[in-house]
Structure 1
Amino acid sequence: MPEPRSFGQQLRDYRHQRQLTQAALAEEVGCAVESIRKMEANRQRPSRSLAARLATILHLSSEQSQLFCAQARMVGTAEAKQTSTPSGLPLTASKLINRQSEVATLHQYLNAEHIRMITLTGPGGVGKTRLALQIAQQSPKYFPDGVYFVDLAQATSVADLGLALSQALNLPSSKYSWQRQMQLHFQHARILLILDNLEQLLSATAVLRWLLDHTTGLKLLLTSRALLHCAGEYALPLAPLRLPTTSATLSELKTNPAVQLFVQRAQTLNPQFSLTSANAEAIKHICWQVDGLPLALELAAARTRLLTPEALLAYLQPPLALLTTNDPTAPARHQSMHNAIKWGYQQISPQQQQLLRQLAIFQAGCTLDAIQAIVPNQSQLELLDQLARLIDHSLLTMQAEPEQPQRFRMLSLIQEFAAQQLHDHGELNTLAQRHLEYYVMYCESLSEQVLEQRQALLAERENIRAAINWAISTQNWSAASACIVPLAEFWYRYGASEELQTWLDWLSAQQLTPTMHARCSEMQGYIAAFLQSQYRAGQAWYQQALAQRQALQQPAAIAENMAKLGEITMEQGYYAQALEHYRNACNLYEQLGDQEAVFAMHDCQAMVLVRQGQLKLAQQLLQQSLAYWQQQHILPSLAFSLNYLGMIALYQTNFTEAQAAHEQALAIWRSLDDQRGIASALNALTPVLVQQEQLSAALAAIKASLQIRWNLHDYDGLAWNLERFAELLSRQGQAELAIQAWSKAQQLRAELAVPLFEAEQQRLQPTIANCKQQLGSAQWQQIWFDSQSLGLANLIETLLAQV
């Protein structure tokens, strides 16, 4: 029995019956001669519409036409399998990593009848082409008439687009009739057309829309750094790979997509390369340094042939110059990250290029207010429009968080490129000065409660740091001091304490105004006494500041320094001196008519009186202050008074009243997110709960307080925590661990010169005596002595692990 004829044989036989050459048939059908040759050789299948047109021109009967068209589209034949392979796909050198969500979304879009145009957007090197290739490889079963991949990197006009499509689809190579040819051949065909690198052909939007309007089964998957803003366009922004967290463990790093891609690429060059505990930290920082961009990760990984990850990280400071390749097969725009970013930069207007350069002056993003203050000669509407264009071109992003102003930011590699352009265009000095002036104004506008605005300050930290460094480099002492001194506590907690100390030492040596010198002394004293618990050093700085303010005859500042000296001397156990300082400060505030400060000094005197055991007098002062704070709704001071009233109630063994006061104070401090206040209330609440046998609640409270103070490096507070923890442990029958905590607390107090006051010693005495009796004097002394050499961090880790 003869074998059935293939589609190619049928086409050739029918053509011969009509006495047509391949060229004549191609001319009548309106396709390329090469297409006829490939179809007759079973190397290409026609679309449904083209098969139907062939049947008409070949004068086939109705039955012949039906069989002919069915054979043309037959699934399962060798030629069908061959021609169903996507056309024009370049090779992929790496496995697609962590794009499952995007792949699923694209398949959902491609399977939706109403979605015809999808645009993959994102910055250069983010992996748009690689994702499109993955989709192309997975899509033939959904597009029986073909999946075609067209690289448009070299196309610069609509005519070039037509030529590229004509070649990919085997249409006649005419620049001017390709739209009509596509309509003719693919009007009812189900094909997926992947157009790669469309960002320089945004003018082709109307043509693409025309194609969709004049076909029924065509779908477009576009890759572009910019949106087309075309009716019916569905955008899928592609973000860099997820970066590892700062605390990521080795096992977590092994599953992180950015790390996986770096290691995978390194292993293609060196099969022995692996992620280890020795190089994990360096690889993590490399991923951060290159923003998690796949191209940048691959270019960085290629350097591991020569450099270890640790050495590579050192060279990536800054990274742009090192992120290159010598691969001759790579597109020019992908042979370096500089080229990849430059490609996108060249696609925007000169005005947008200038704005991008100007935005490079900002570090870690900025607000719209900051842009409007620094970028000159643009109306608000013009500026908004230009920002929108930069976002459209994937050169800028906008981020919005609850209760915070929206921020605009660039990837760090784009920022490095733009900053170099800013320098090369001679615009740096002017912009840096405007940047400094804005952030001086910003810092001066902050209220004294700086830490209450820490979220905003954390967002602006790098900008303020850059402003300080520019002020130092230009010897602008007043501007530098305006950004450093009012924010000293913020810099200490959320910057780098060594950096702050360097700044303050530098400022102290400059020719500042007498008032600013006094302010620097106060900040030095505040850091030493209240952030580092170095009370003696802090006392010396505040005494110097007091003398400076007295020479300047500034009574409010004199009173403030007296109050600080009162607190410092109180912590060191010099209660008479502390009362004198507080009373002198109170008198000055009364003369100034500052009622709020007067009541604050009453609270401070009450602190000293509690330590002296004068509980009733302290209680009277606190209750007077409490009424004022409630009336004026001054929450931080209200919480302070409540917490000390709770402490007095504890010493009076009125535990129910003490618990209520501490819990009210805790609720207020939590509402203010005041971490020091929260830690203080939880610490004070612990013995109250212990006395009422609420041991689980006491454990939770003291652990939370201990964790906060450990994070804040509050060693004075830690001594209190250790003593309260020991009290709880003793009640739980853990005598040995309790002794360790008491011993370490005493050691801390000795080092800091902050003795435990008598009322608290008397309260703890029965508990300590009971614990000593349980173990015996000899064992007690041995544990106490051994605990002196125990590391504080180890002890705190043990305590925080208690359950």
Structure 2
Amino acid sequence: MRFGILGPLEVLADDGEPLSPGSPKQRTLLALLLLADNRPIPAERLIDELWGTDPPATGTATLQVHLSGLRKILGNRLQRTPAGYVLHVKEGELDATEFIRLTTSAGQEPGEVVARLGEGLGLWRGEVLGGAGEAASVVGARERLGELRLEALERRVEAELALGRHRALVSELTALVAAHPLRERLSGQLMLALHQSGRTADANGIYVRFETACRDELGTEPSDRLRALAEGIRRNDPTLDAPGPAALPVPASRFVGRRRELDRIEELLGTCRLLTLTGPGGTGKTRLALQLARDLGTAHYPDGIHLIELAGSSDEASVTGRLAAAVGARELPGEPLATTIAVHLQHARALVVLDNCEHVVDAVAELADYLLNHCGSLRLLVTSREPIAVTGETVVPVGGLELPRADASYEEATRSEAIRLLAARGATARAGFRITPDTYRSAVAVCRQLDGLPLAIELAAARLRMLNLTELEQRLERPLDLLTADNRSLPRRHRALRSTLEWSHDLLDKPERALFARLAVFVDGFPLEAAEYIGTGLDDAPPVLDLVSRLVHRSLLVPDLDGPVTRYRMLETIHEYAVERLAAAGDADSVAELHGKWWQQWVETAPQFGGDDHAFWLARLTSELGNLRAAMDWALDGQAEQALAIATRSWWFWWTTGQMNEGSQWLQRALAVAEPGARAVRGEALRAAAALARNSGDLETARKLGLEALAVQQELGDRRGLAMVWNNLCMTATGQRDLDAALEYAEHSRQEAELVGAERGLAIAANNTATVLRCLGRLDEAAAGFSEALELFSGCEDRRGEAAAVGNLGVIAARQGRVEKAREYYLRSLKLYQELQLEEGELDMVEAWAGLEAADNPEEALRLLRIADRERRRLGAPLFVPDEIDARAEALTTARSALTAPEGGGPVGDEGESLADVVVGLLSGGRFRRS
């Protein structure tokens, strides 16, 4: 027979058939007898329990009736003795007795505690003695057993926390705390589980709620123990970190950041059997893998987590031996050790962590492949600077920590992973260290300079014992020399950043080392074609594509697949080391020469303005800006013609991006050191310098440079070049309001272009002639000229020219009073400029649109003019065509008059609206509305 009181009162026959205790009084009577635990109860006490202070007159007789009813189901187990009535219950028949036995025999080892208490708690089916009435002894039993159940729950949770099962406990503990808000131990356990799950803010919130409840409902304070726990959580006490499996080392410092990465790789590891974390030295692959293993723990891998550290392995044969020792597989005579390991782990749900595999990667690959094919429940987690390249491998590159933006606010910066790590390790290095609103910019600069590499940040933090943050930032120009640490707990390869990089470099073969050094010549990365050019002539080397692939696999190069073409780059510290290797090889000058030749050839293939691929090449030139600067800088010392060629062919980039001053400086430096004389490259350079000067508003310098370019081209007799120079002079003279000279220059440009059949040159001449005529007020002639220019630009597929001609036709239409036609032209031109990413052209159209709005919609007109003025200052591109300047001034005056605003002063910048927003607004609805 079985008796259950840990829930609704029940009696089960030996065959499991339920037996009904009968009426409510009989149920209460049975409950009282079961609670007596094989001890007799006097009849008087039974009567008191059943009816309290108001028993029936026939109480004894009525009690006998209920006892007789129970005997029908209990048989001779219910007996009458001189001391009273007793129900004989055998060992193991009452669930409450079993519960108490299991909870008191659980021991101390966490696994055993969880098993025993889990079994005992599994006996509970609901409220104690459900349906057994409200007799005093029944009510008391409910309270007593309910308290024992909560204590058992708390002990089981404590043991599970010790086993690292904090994440799985959060939801259960949240429900328990909601049901028992004043139970301190449960609140403390929930705080710890949340903290260990990376939810420290939520843990702090639980403490605040418990503290408030204590004060409001009990008028008391939390215990010293709970207050100490809350304080430890607030200061990130490392002793509160989640425990890991016994095979894993306990970190001396708290793991910081990477929570999203941990969640991602945990999910990946749940769907594959071999996961490899790759990355250069110092990215924290080992720390990340160990943290993941600790988080998963024996709950996921009940047959064990085994760590095999391979950094110290002297040969590939030791890989199998170390794994055998870790898992407890003993070598058997005549049987390969890999087979012995596979048999040992054949049915084990285990995780094997193979750490630092790059120098024994072939042996690891062979062993991993064998184990995966013979151990269906085994998972492998590998860290290596390159993939191990076996079937079924999932590779996750590990990079630096999350970095703040260079212009991040203090609040944004201190939330980033890299800054949090620097702050934590800095506080360890120097008591009282904090990153403050006064010093955070230096912290941001330090972390960004180090690419967020955890090892580099930790080594930098060690220097905070003797340097402040500003001094540390200033000394990071040579991080390989600065970033060392006297920390004997670190592996030797991690005590200095240089040692970490040497470890990786020593694993390369000769061709890989040679190309690695040569790639140091690039700045901020490179495309594959450039690497192939630089790698020309390497001795006994495979194709450069293969070498680049190997360097990517070995985490010495990082591919960037998001740009217009794939580019490869080195992290800053790796690049510094590569520069040292290039200098040591004695090839720096010859490689720099190759670098300069490549970028000269490359930039000469880039189209000038106007084609469909204008935006593509603008993005490419932007990404290669560091290389172009480096090539010009090197060429200025002995290869000035090369520098002049690069600067000249990239002049339009400087103009388009509003960097006229820098472009002018490169051209001036190259012109100053290049050989004098009449050469095509010099003529082009002078013309480019003149264009940049004009667009910067320095018309006098532009005219002077234009005339110098004219003299060179006339001496050369280059009619195509002359057409471009005359055009350049035409625009400059127009800006100077020397309109007669401008017309003369435009005619010369047309004649030269006609002689050589240059369709684009004829289009430019027609457009510029019409611009001068428009300035002279000869609108009908100007309209014909712009129409001719549009037809010619369309014929040679010059979309920038089309945009300019269409916009100019819009200006004519507006001045002739054809407002809707002007709007149509402006929007068509604006769309072309937007597609070409030509901001100055977009500004021309925005200002033209403002002119249309000035009288009827003055607020919108002023807003557009404010934005255009701000953006022109940003680009360094003031208006220079006279009638456009006059039209803008007229629009400003008209709009202000319409608003009856006081005169004086120009529009000021409106920081809340971007040019891109304005363009999108105009194109989407023909109007720009403030959101």
| Cα 1:141–1:763 shift into 2, 3 Å | closer
Equivalent-residue separation in structure 2 for 1:85 and 1:272 (angstroms)? 30
Residues 422-437 of structure 1 aligned to structure 2 (within 5 Å):
422-437=582-597
Report the 3-state secondary structure (helix = DSSP H, G, I; strand = E; otherwise coil) of the residue aligned with 2:246: coil
- The reply to whether residue 266 of structure 1 matches residue 426 of structure 2 is yes
| Cα 1:513–1:367 shift into 2, 3 Å | farther
Residues 455-466 of structure 1 aligned to structure 2 (within 5 Å):
455-466=619-630
Residues 554-703 of structure 1 aligned to structure 2 (within 5 Å):
554-691=718-855, 693=857, 702=865
Residues 318-333 of structure 1 aligned to structure 2 (within 5 Å):
318-333=478-493
Give a deviation string over 1:422-453, Cα, whole Å, max 9, x none: 22122323222222221221122233339652
Which residue of 383, 386, 399 corresponds with 2:544?
A: 383
Which residue of 601, 606, 617 corresponds with 1:441?
A: 601
- The reply to whether residue 713 of structure 1 matches residue 876 of structure 2 is yes
Residues 43-62 of structure 1 aligned to structure 2 (within 5 Å):
none
2:30 match = none
CA positional deviation for 1:125: 0.8
Equivalent-residue separation in structure 1 for 2:756 and 2:561 (angstroms)? 44
Equivalent-residue separation in structure 1 for 2:858 and 2:895 (angstroms)? 17
Matched residue type, 1:521? L
CA positional deviation for 1:680: 0.9
Which residue of 680, 690, 700 corresponds with 1:536?
A: 700
Give a deviation string over 1:627-668, Cα, whole Å, max 9, x none: 334455432222222212211221222111111111111122
2:511 match = 351
Which residue of 133, 147, 167 corresponds with 2:290?
A: 133
Report the 3-state secondary structure (helix = DSSP H, G, I; strand = E; otherwise coil) of the residue aligned with 2:395: strand
Report the 3-state secondary structure (helix = DSSP H, G, I; strand = E; otherwise coil) of the residue aligned with 1:509: helix
Residues 516-527 of structure 1 aligned to structure 2 (within 5 Å):
516-527=681-692
Equivalent-residue separation in structure 2 for 1:799 and 1:134 (angstroms)? 45
Residues 753-772 of structure 1 aligned to structure 2 (within 5 Å):
none
CA positional deviation for 1:210: 2.7
Report the 3-state secondary structure (helix = DSSP H, G, I; strand = E; otherwise coil) of the residue aligned with 1:194: strand
Report the 3-state secondary structure (helix = DSSP H, G, I; strand = E; otherwise coil) of the residue aligned with 1:716: coil
1:105 match = 264
The answer (yes or no) to whether the contact 1:241–1:292 under 8 Å persists in 2 is yes
| Cα 1:339–1:314 shift into 2, 3 Å | same
- The reply to whether residue 223 of structure 1 matches residue 386 of structure 2 is no
Which residue of 86, 95, 103 corresponds with 2:254?
A: 95
Unaligned 5+ segments in structure 1 are 1-40, 46-74, 721-753
Residues 252-263 of structure 1 aligned to structure 2 (within 5 Å):
252-263=412-423
The answer (yes or no) to whether the contact 2:556–2:570 under 8 Å persists in 1 is yes
| Cα 1:768–1:612 shift into 2, 3 Å | farther
1:504 match = 667
- The reply to whether residue 165 of structure 1 matches residue 338 of structure 2 is no
Larger Rg: 2
Which residue of 133, 152, 155 corresponds with 2:310?
A: 152
- The reply to whether residue 372 of structure 1 matches residue 539 of structure 2 is no
Equivalent-residue separation in structure 2 for 1:210 and 1:765 (angstroms)? 83
Give a deviation string over 1:774-797, Cα, whole Å, max 9, x none: 46xxxx4xx63xx48xxx8x6554
CA positional deviation for 1:134: 0.8
Residues 389-400 of structure 1 aligned to structure 2 (within 5 Å):
389-400=550-561
Matched residue type, 1:429? D
Residues 178-197 of structure 1 aligned to structure 2 (within 5 Å):
178-183=337-342, 185-197=344-356
Give a deviation string over 1:226-254, Cα, whole Å, max 9, x none: 21112232222212222222332222111
Report the 3-state secondary structure (helix = DSSP H, G, I; strand = E; otherwise coil) of the residue aligned with 2:435: coil
| Cα 1:184–1:464 shift into 2, 3 Å | same
| Cα 1:569–1:120 shift into 2, 3 Å | same
TM-score, scaled relative to structure 2: 0.67
Higher RCO (CA-CA < 8 Å; seq separation 6+)? 1
Report the 3-state secondary structure (helix = DSSP H, G, I; strand = E; otherwise coil) of the residue aligned with 2:521: coil
Report the 3-state secondary structure (helix = DSSP H, G, I; strand = E; otherwise coil) of the residue aligned with 2:636: helix
Equivalent-residue separation in structure 2 for 1:85 and 1:524 (angstroms)? 66
CA positional deviation for 1:331: 0.1
Equivalent-residue separation in structure 2 for 1:352 and 1:311 (angstroms)? 37
Equivalent-residue separation in structure 1 for 2:479 and 2:628 (angstroms)? 23
Equivalent-residue separation in structure 2 for 1:633 and 1:799 (angstroms)? 33
| Cα 1:172–1:495 shift into 2, 3 Å | farther
Equivalent-residue separation in structure 1 for 2:810 and 2:110 (angstroms)? 89
The answer (yes or no) to whether the contact 2:609–2:652 under 8 Å persists in 1 is no
Equivalent-residue separation in structure 1 for 2:773 and 2:502 (angstroms)? 69
Matched residue type, 2:249? P
CA positional deviation for 1:762: 7.1
1:733 match = none
CA positional deviation for 1:533: 0.8
Matched residue type, 1:406? T
Equivalent-residue separation in structure 2 for 1:327 and 1:622 (angstroms)? 74
Report the 3-state secondary structure (helix = DSSP H, G, I; strand = E; otherwise coil) of the residue aligned with 1:360: helix
Give a deviation string over 1:294-336, Cα, whole Å, max 9, x none: 1111111221222222221221113222111111111011111
CA positional deviation for 1:100: 2.2
1:5 match = none
Report the 3-state secondary structure (helix = DSSP H, G, I; strand = E; otherwise coil) of the residue aligned with 1:667: helix
> How many residues get paired?
679
Farther-moved stretch of structure 1 (554-563 vs 615-624): 554-563
Equivalent-residue separation in structure 1 for 2:570 and 2:885 (angstroms)? 55
Matched residue type, 1:399? D
Equivalent-residue separation in structure 2 for 1:798 and 1:192 (angstroms)? 54
Larger % of helix: which? Answer: 1
Matched residue type, 2:525? G
CA positional deviation for 1:483: 1.4
Unaligned 5+ segments in structure 2 are 1-107, 113-155, 165-242, 916-929
Matched residue type, 2:640? W
Matched residue type, 2:706? Y
2:174 match = none
The answer (yes or no) to whether the contact 1:612–1:759 under 8 Å persists in 2 is no
Report the 3-state secondary structure (helix = DSSP H, G, I; strand = E; otherwise coil) of the residue aligned with 1:537: helix
| Cα 1:373–1:763 shift into 2, 3 Å | closer
The answer (yes or no) to whether the contact 2:163–2:244 under 8 Å persists in 1 is yes
Equivalent-residue separation in structure 2 for 1:78 and 1:664 (angstroms)? 72
2:274 match = 117
Equivalent-residue separation in structure 2 for 1:363 and 1:764 (angstroms)? 46
CA positional deviation for 1:550: 2.9
Equivalent-residue separation in structure 2 for 1:134 and 1:675 (angstroms)? 49
Give a deviation string over 1:23-72, Cα, whole Å, max 9, x none: xxxxxxxxxxxxxxxxxx99999xxxxxxxxxxxxxxxxxxxxxxxxxxx
The answer (yes or no) to whether the contact 1:646–1:661 under 8 Å persists in 2 is yes
| Cα 1:492–1:417 shift into 2, 3 Å | farther
The answer (yes or no) to whether the contact 1:166–1:174 under 8 Å persists in 2 is no
- The reply to whether residue 405 of structure 1 matches residue 405 of structure 2 is no
The answer (yes or no) to whether the contact 2:281–2:385 under 8 Å persists in 1 is yes
Residues 161-310 of structure 1 aligned to structure 2 (within 5 Å):
161-172=319-330, 178-183=337-342, 185-204=344-363, 205-310=365-470
Equivalent-residue separation in structure 2 for 1:770 and 1:80 (angstroms)? 73
Equivalent-residue separation in structure 1 for 2:658 and 2:356 (angstroms)? 42
| Cα 1:588–1:526 shift into 2, 3 Å | same
